Every structure is written in C-alpha cells, then in structure tokens.
Amino acid sequence: MYICDVRNRTYHWQYLLKTSCCNATEREAIDANDSWACPACINLNQNEKKNRILDSQKREIVEISWNAFTYCKRLLIRQSAVAYTIMSNLLPLALHQNS
C-alpha cells in the first residue's frame, strides 16, 4: 500500500497499475523513496501542497475511539435480555412437558 504524503490517502499498487498512474518500472523508485505523492498531488508546488494537506486534515481525517468498558456493558445487557427472553419462552414448555 502506498500512502500519499500530501493527502494521507492510501493506494493499492494494483489500482495504480490499472489506472495507468504508475508502471512496474517505477515501483522500485517509489519503494526506495520514503516520501511519495499520488498522481493528483505530484505536480503541485509547495504552497498548493500545504493547502491540500490542511484541506485533507479538515475534511478527510476521522478519529475513531472505542470505549471497551461501555461496549462490554452494552453487550452484557443485550445478552442478558436475550437469555431472559429464551428462558421465559422455554420454561412454560418445560413445565408443560413434565406434567
């Protein structure tokens, strides 16, 4: 996977080949270089790159957080509700079969 340093977008190599953005001979040069700009950003000057970086940070980068305790608590509540429903439906059947 290739990450554009300007927009922080990730590109799969097969996508770059299929869209004719890069070819197999360019791959070694891209792999050897630590920084890489996607075909949409490669011809931008420094000022345009700076503007695009700021724009992508404002619009495209999303932070995702996860609270494991809250998730587990909700899961336990749902499981107990399901277990209660199952037991309340099975208990009358079991009592009926024993009589």
For residues 46-72, give the mean pLDDT: 78
Measured CA to CA, the distance from residue 18 to residue 60 in angstroms comes to: 24
Q: What are phi and psi of 46, to 5 degrees?
A: -60, -40
The pLDDT of residue 47 = 92
Domain residues of the chain, as ranges?
Answer: 2-59, 65-99
Better-predicted residue by pLDDT, 2 or 94: 2
The pLDDT of residue 94 = 65
End-to-end Cα spacing for the chain: 66
Measured CA to CA, the distance from residue 69 to residue 71 in angstroms comes to: 5
Does this model's pTM top 0.75? My answer is no
Q: What are phi and psi of 16, to 5 degrees?
A: -65, -35
The answer to whether the CB of 22 falls within 8 A of the CB of 36 is no
Measured CA to CA, the distance from residue 42 to residue 31 in angstroms comes to: 16
The pLDDT of residue 1 = 83
